[in-house]
Amino acid sequence: MSLEIDPKQIKSLSPINSLNPENAQELVNKISAVAVKPGHYVFKKGDADKFHVYLLKGEIELVDDKKVVKVIKAGSPDGLQPLAHGFPRPLAARAKSAAVVTKINSDMLDIMLTWDQTGSYTVEGVDDEEDDDETDWMTRILQTRAFHRIPPANIQAMFMRMESVSFKPGEKVIEQDAEGDYFYIIKEGRCLVTRATPANPNGVKLATLSVGDSFGEEALISDSKRNATITMLSEGHLMRLNKEDFNSLLNEPLLNWVDYAEAKTLVEAGAVWFDVRLPTEHKANHIKNSINIPLIFLRMKANSLDNKKKYVIYCDTGRRSSAASFLLNEKDIESYVLKDGVDSADAGDLVSA
């Protein structure tokens, strides 16, 4: 259960106490406090979630296996520091008494500290929206597991280089068949994804996107035309990153490239072959036991995949599969890209119509 927090107490914690007042208040607005019962763990040794965890009330035991190493009291000098900070956690944290803690996304705090200390940016708040639009766009992006694999310097550079653009309801952000130029993250508002076909020239609805969702990566990664139209459903503000910065800062760090031998080893260990070409291409020639979801439909159907499994993605060259891998990684689904596509497969592992 979330509890009210004391802004003054949060602003006294280290290193939050070094932020300027505006950024410190913005950070306070993004966090909440949680009660922990005696004997319950706040985190365990070896946990790798990137959060600064602070004790606001009560006492916490830092435990190494079964041995209590230290007891931390709220308000003490040790209590002003993040608990057993490090990734993975060097110690477990267990409530000795009824306690209250707060967790702050470490990447977000680090970005705020960098902006604050360079004097180049002041974090702007996001007005409350209805439904899931209340979720902060930056927090959602940073909590995506895929971003944990991006070097911190790249994340910092990404936010520094992004520019904010505004749109009105009904306005098109990108149009099908246009050249790819930017990667977008929704800061405020909602967007509709549609694709025109010969049978439906006005467009078939593929997905609805909201705060924290991103789009536009497919054309940038594959160096091809836009495969869908994105239209604003409401007034909105988007953050965008140009093609060159996107590919250098985000795309490559997120992709796991494997050759065919490495891919086969992954599949033998439980991974799934995943063909993102069109059904006609898959039918004509595909790797045995592969599933097929065309890239154009992947954003809409990604939630049907088992996020506990690993996927080895392939197409004919690696372009479409790398775009698919980026999308799955954003959704916390572990994936690998097959170098050189289906042509790299052993002849005996292929099925032809």
The torsion angles phi and psi of 339, rounded to 5 degrees, stand at: -60, 135
Q: For residue 117, is pLDDT > 90?
A: no
Amino acid 214: pLDDT: 87
**At the topology level of CATH, where does 2-106 sit?**
Jelly Rolls (2.60.120)
Amino acid 114: pLDDT: 62
Q: Which residues contact 306 (CB under 8 A, 6 or more apart)?
A: none
CATH superfamily of 255-352: Rhodanese-like domain (3.40.250.10)
Amino acid 23: pLDDT: 79
What are the DSSP E strand ranges found in 26-122? 33-36, 41-43, 51-57, 59-64, 67-73, 92-95, 99-105
pLDDT digit string, tens, across residues 223-281: 778 888 999 999 999 999 999 988 888 877 778 899 999 999 999 999 999 999 989 88
SS3 283: helix
Paired residues of 183 in beta bridges: 241
Lowest mean pLDDT among 19-33, 108-122, 151-165: 108-122
Same fold: 2-106 with 131-250: yes
Amino acid 198: pLDDT: 82
Say which residue, 268 or 220, is predicted with more confidence.
268
Query: How far apart, in whole angstroms, are the C-alpha atoms of residue 135 and residue 342?
Result: 40
pLDDT digit string, tens, across residues 174-197: 999 999 899 999 999 999 999 888
Query: How far apart, in whole angstroms, are the C-alpha atoms of residue 324 and residue 334?
Result: 11
pLDDT digit string, tens, across residues 142-174: 776 667 667 776 787 888 889 999 999 999 999
How confident is the prediction for the chain on average, in pLDDT? 86
Pairing of strands 257-258, 335-338: parallel
> 334: burial class by Cβ within 10 Å (0-12, 13-18, 19+)?
middle
Q: Helix 152-161 crosses helix 106-118 at what angle (to 10 degrees)?
A: 60
Amino acid letter, residue 231: T
Domain residue extents for the chain: 2-106, 131-250, 255-352
CATH number of 131-250: 2.60.120.10
